[in-house]
């Protein structure tokens, strides 16, 4: 009996292309390529380099299920769960509008607005996207124009959740904020009037035309993201009302609209007034699609000092719980830190200035400059748990481990001999020691775990000034200098930690803090042994 011919990539591509073509797929070969790529984990180019590779049983089963879904009319992007858009790849799922190639023209227009603001000397260029969906526009702006701050909104909880996942997958947690709300209802009011660009791909299909859309669209994609009312401009009219309060003078409004309605939208802009220029641009198929309007005024004009200061503060200051930290805030803080930033974090004792304790981290020196403190000194470390004592210390006495078991997490700092894992710049030159603490803050410990490295830290105050014990106590000049501030309200203990030297035969209290010296010294060396 002849052996069955194996299902190689070449064979499955040919069969799938033929099958989907007979089922009405307009681009059967493209669909086949994306399905095979998704199932095998190979790029489309790699599939052509591996034509003779047979598919395994699990891959064949997955391919069968995917082909069946595509043949039934389900959009390819939902079947594969992802799609490329400009220079990024996005997760896609049912309930959220699929980005179209035509929308890349809208992104081009928005980037012109970003570039114009940067060229005019705007210190912090901000963009607001209304109706973000997958996040394709906001994330493209942030990835292609580093330094731009983007706020993206959506009324759909499913869209907000997906946009956040896409943002986090691309490592854009810091520059992109995704908020839930109708238009700009979820945007911090202190940011209104500071945006250089307002961009949107709102629902714009006239209601009467929605039922005539291909089944692949109307049967799977959310009506909330498609139906634009009688003339397709219901949401646009509301965005136009929002624009003057959102944009700074000289800012740009960019909207993708229905081809038969975009001229009317341009007329509405002119009727509203306050726009220095209004134009309609064509999409990739040369249909009128994108409205671009530039607000009257000069981008180069500085915003009132109080407005800009309030905007910077709201971008840099986030609120959190020390006991039940939000995963998004943890990821954002870790991202800022590992990118070389300085973060103000709350602890059980006082608020601290932190950086990751990696060799050559410029943030390490920045902390001393912020503190106005002698850079020859060293910074204690926050570690996630007691295992850090053994990892970063050496020859640690048994009684020191006992102290850690008794007081960690908590307000006790232990000075031990530094192991070889401690970079020289973080160890005391006199004796090669390192100060370690596990703070009683799930937030801080989660950040350490997420960053994958201890945090070098010191109190968040100018040297010689009182330490901050609440977020409100952090000095304004420090807020302006750091990259992120996490405000968790009052510190539970509000006293500095007790520091104990563990390098000798017996504990030596170097600084009495929240834990009384006598409580530390109670267990004798002999008792602990």
What value, to the nearest 5°, has the Cα angle with vertex 237 and ends 236 and 241? 115
β strands within 86-213, DSSP E: 88-91, 126-130, 149-154, 176-180, 195-200
Would you list the domain boundaries of the chain? 9-72, 103-295, 320-528
Residue 491: per-residue pLDDT: 93
Q: Considering the entire predicted model, what is its pTM?
A: 0.77
Report the distance separating Cα 368 and Cα 206, nearest Å. 60
* 4: its two tokens: 């069955």
Share the mean pLDDT of the chain: 91
Distance CA 36, CA 16 (A): 9
The sheet carrying 288-295 orders its strands as: 176-180, 149-154, 126-130, 195-200, 247-256, 288-295, 275-282
b/e burial code for range 344-382 (CB count within 10 A of at least 16 → b): bbbbbbbbbbbbbbbeebebbebbbebbeeeeeebbbbb
> Residue 155: is it exposed, middle or buried by C-beta count within 10 angstroms (0-12/13-18/19+)?
middle
Backbone angles phi, psi at 450, to 5 degrees: -65, -40
Query: Can you tell me the distance from the alpha carbon of 475 to that of 460, in angstroms, rounded to the nearest whole number?
Result: 8
pLDDT for residue 526 is more than 50: no
C-alpha separations of 479 from 147, 192, 460 in Å: 18, 20, 10
Superfamily of domain 320-528: DHBP synthase (3.90.870.10)
**What CATH class has 9-72?**
mainly alpha
For the stretch 190-246, pLDDT in tens is: 999 999 999 999 999 999 999 988 877 878 888 888 889 999 999 999 999 999 999
Sole residue written with tokens 């008794």: 406
Which parts of 318-435 fold into alpha helices (H)?
Answer: 327-338, 362-371, 387-392, 398-407
Query: Rounded to whole angstroms, how far apart are CA atoms 162 and 357?
Result: 33
pLDDT in tens, 319-377: 999 999 989 899 999 999 999 999 999 999 999 999 999 999 999 999 999 988 887 78
Averaged pLDDT, 265-277: 96
* 3-state secondary structure (DSSP) of residue 91: strand
d(CA 167, CA 493): 36
pLDDT digits (tens, 9 = 90+) for 51-110: 999 999 999 999 999 999 988 888 888 888 888 888 899 999 988 988 888 899 999 999
Q: Band of the pLDDT at 527, cuts 50, 70, 90?
A: very low
> 103-295, which class in CATH?
alpha beta
Per-residue burial over 95-119, b = 16 or more CB atoms within 10 Å of its CB, e = otherwise: bbbbbbebbbbbbebbbebbebbbe
Phi, psi of 493 (to 5 degrees): -95, -40
Answer whether 111's CB lies under 8 Å from 141's CB: yes
What pLDDT is recorded for position 83? 84
pLDDT tens for 284-309 read 888 999 999 999 999 999 888 778 87
Pick from 7-11, 56-60, 312-316: least confident:
312-316
- The DSSP output letter for 302 is P
DSSP 11-63: HHHHHHHHHHHHTT-SSHHHHHHHHHHHHH---HHHHHHTTTPBPPHHHHHHH
């Amino acid at each position: 009996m002849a052996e069955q011919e194996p299902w190689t990539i070449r064979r499955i591509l040919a069969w799938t292309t033929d099958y989907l073509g007979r089922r009405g797929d307009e681009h059967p070969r493209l669909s086949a390529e994306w399905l095979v790529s998704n199932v095998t984990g190979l790029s489309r180019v790699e599939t052509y380099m591996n034509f003779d590779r047979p598919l395994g049983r699990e891959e064949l089963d997955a391919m069968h299920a995917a082909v069946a879904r595509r043949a039934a009319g389900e959009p390819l992007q939902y079947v594969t769960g992802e799609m490329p858009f400009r220079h990024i790849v996005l997760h896609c799922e049912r309930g959220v509008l699929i980005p179209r190639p035509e929308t890349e023209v809208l992104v081009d227009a928005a980037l012109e607005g970003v570039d114009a603001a940067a060229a005019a000397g705007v210190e912090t260029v901000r963009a607001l996207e209304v109706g973000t969906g997958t996040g394709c526009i906001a994330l493209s702006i942030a990835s292609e124009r580093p330094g731009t701050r983007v706020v993206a909104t959506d009324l759909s909880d499913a869209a907000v959740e997906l946009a956040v996942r896409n943002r986090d997958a691309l490592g854009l947690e810091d520059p992109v904020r995704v908020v839930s709300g109708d238009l700009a209802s979820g945007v911090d009011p202190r940011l209104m009037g500071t945006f250089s660009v307002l961009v949107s791909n709102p629902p714009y299909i006239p209601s009467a035309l929605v039922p005539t859309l291909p089944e692949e669209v109307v049967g799977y994609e959310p009506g909330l993201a498609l139906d634009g009312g009688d003339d397709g401009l219901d949401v646009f009219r509301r965005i136009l009302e929002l624009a003057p309060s959102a944009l700074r003078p000289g800012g740009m409004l960019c909207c993708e609209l229905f081809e038969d309605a975009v001229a009317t939208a341009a007329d509405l802009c002119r009727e509203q007034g306050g726009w220095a220029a209004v134009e309609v641009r064509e999409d990739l198929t040369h249909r009128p699609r994108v409205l671009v309007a530039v607000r009257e005024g000069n981008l180069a004009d500085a915003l009132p000092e109080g407005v800009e200061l309030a905007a910077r503060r709201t971008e840099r200051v986030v609120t959190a719980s020390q006991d039940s930290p939000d995963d998004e805030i943890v990821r954002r803080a870790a991202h800022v830190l590992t990118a070389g930033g300085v973060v103000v974090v709350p602890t059980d004792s006082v608020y601290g200035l932190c950086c990751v304790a990696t060799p050559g981290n410029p943030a390490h020196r920045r902390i001393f400059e912020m503190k106005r403190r002698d850079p020859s000194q060293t910074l204690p470390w926050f570690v996630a748990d007691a295992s850090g004592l053994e990892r970063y210390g050496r020859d640690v006495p048994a009684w020191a481990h006992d102290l850690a078991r008794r007081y960690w997490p908590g307000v006790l700092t232990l000075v031990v001999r530094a192991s070889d894992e401690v970079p020289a710049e973080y160890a005391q030159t006199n004796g090669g020691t390192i100060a370690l603490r596990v703070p009683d803050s799930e937030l801080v410990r989660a950040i350490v775990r997420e960053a994958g490295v201890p945090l070098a830290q010191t109190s968040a105050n100018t040297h010689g000034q009182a330490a901050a014990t609440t977020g409100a106590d952090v000095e304004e000049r420090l807020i302006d200098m750091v990259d992120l501030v996490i405000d968790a309200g009052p510190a539970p203990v509000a006293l500095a930690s007790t520091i104990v030297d563990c390098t000798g035969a017996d504990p030596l209290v170097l600084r009495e803090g929240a834990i009384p010296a006598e409580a530390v010294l109670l267990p004798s060396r002999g008792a602990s042994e």
